[in-house]
Amino acid sequence: MRIVFDTNVLISALIKDGKPGELIDALLTKPHTLLISRSIIREFSRIAADERIRRYVNPEDATAFLRMLVGRGEIVRVTSRFRLLKTPDDTILRTAYDGQANLIVTGDRHLLKLRQFKGIRILTVSEVLKEIR
């Protein structure tokens, strides 16, 4: 399975124990491919540097987490330019589309309302955990 994690899921996995981290661990240890783009990396870095996030995690741990994701994942070169949602969430859709993903994992209501995009399923962390258990 080829998977794109929305930045909100990645940040949640970084700052607290729980389902997002459990899911990332489960999917990175099985024969799945994490898809990540430069846009997602930039957004993750920007959010992880925010003082509200820094209360929970130091910059070194955020950098190590991002390196782990990039090291285990596949960098997608995003070439599509469509604007479906006209929000930053389009970055997630473009990464999934250009990376030929099977699944987007998110907590974002704009994306979840779609449920599917061009054959790519869009699910919550809990829904995916239920499927893989």
Task: Tell me which residue of 102, 98, 115 sits closest to 39, measured CA to CA.
Answer: 98
CATH topology of domain 2-132: Rossmann fold (3.40.50)
Q: What angle do CA 28, 102, 1 make, to 5 degrees?
A: 35
pLDDT single digits (tens) 27-36: 887 789 999 9
CB 112 within 8 A of CB 127: no
What are the extents of the domains in the chain?
2-132
For residue 47, give both structure tokens: 């959010």
Mean pLDDT score across all residues of the chain? 93
Q: What is the pLDDT of residues 73-122, one digit of tens each?
A: 999 999 998 888 777 789 999 999 999 999 999 999 999 999 999 999 99
Q: What pLDDT score does 28 carry?
A: 80
CA distance 124 to 133: 15
Q: What is the pTM of this model?
A: 0.93
pLDDT of 5 > 90? The answer is yes
pLDDT for 62: 96
